[in-house]
Chains A and B, each alone.
Chain A
């Protein structure tokens, strides 16, 4: 039988790791959004060699599982950076996690951002240019305000997925929610495994439920903005 008191106690201990997990997810989504904007721009503007590289990048990261990205970054990044004189040790696990998640989600997000950008009517671009706006002004003042309400709900969903994906980071030893659940199990010599995992599951359930509410709210707001335009 399940031991409810163990679940309750573990919930309290795991809850202390929530801010850490959310921070990692948040930093990752920020970096990956920046990367995704870069990738989408290169692909939309059809920059010659760069766009072929972007195509390769997207194809690679979209057809390999997230676990591979994490392990490749964890074992591969120090080797890649060594010739440049940067020596990484195995202690900065949060950095590896953020790097892996960012690279992996940049590919996903660019598949959200690019269609959103392309869905803006061509006339908007032309009108902005005819009105005498420069290229940057056009993107910043006319196109971007229209892209954001289209892309934001999907980005919110991706963020929730990313928080769920942080649960595999324990393979490199990150002590996020899942990682500390594993630690608790190891310290307790493997008793009450099911209860501890259920507690971890409940924590994730709370996070994703709150996230979904937030996203729903965001979606309604975006709908209103779109109507307004």
Chain B
């Protein structure tokens, strides 16, 4: 059964068809990678699913309803968590307060004016921080965190609404290779435990081929391949968009002298 299904999704900017009739689905508990060269339309596609962009045409069905055009906050309420390419946390708060703010919002308590926020959902926030290995940093200001730790914190925030689907835009961008594998291994472990489906974009092929259950590939706004790591690796169209046809490396025909 699919958690998210995207059908005939399209988006144009002026004359540019950034996303052109794209359809795919994310199955229950699946770790699905969306890859493609720069300018393929990954981010546009991603931003339509998370509500930042409104599609020109097509449907995005999550948990049985069409979420295309809903604002990000409504999509969060339906049970979608997300992380950003550049970690976005609340810089004037401690790590635990970041998570508490998300938990408060999830519990529908944003418009409460009396009891301090610091006293709310504290145990749950600590438990989440513990799961991403950030318990010791709970009381540190989030803007003081190292970048890798910010990413972990963001992951804890994204888990706060007990999502059925997690959208991760380049989760390991800007991280050292070792940190990168640790973070993805952590994500994979937690989502498997919680049966969360994940859709992520990624530039690091090591990460994609090592962790993704299935891979879809976009190029020039279209979906060109869909399959497991092995079939994607051997797919000639994928090789072509990533490496060219190879003709560039062939000796040039000698021109007449």
On whether the two chains bind one another, the answer is no
B interface residues with partner A (beta carbon < 8 Å): none
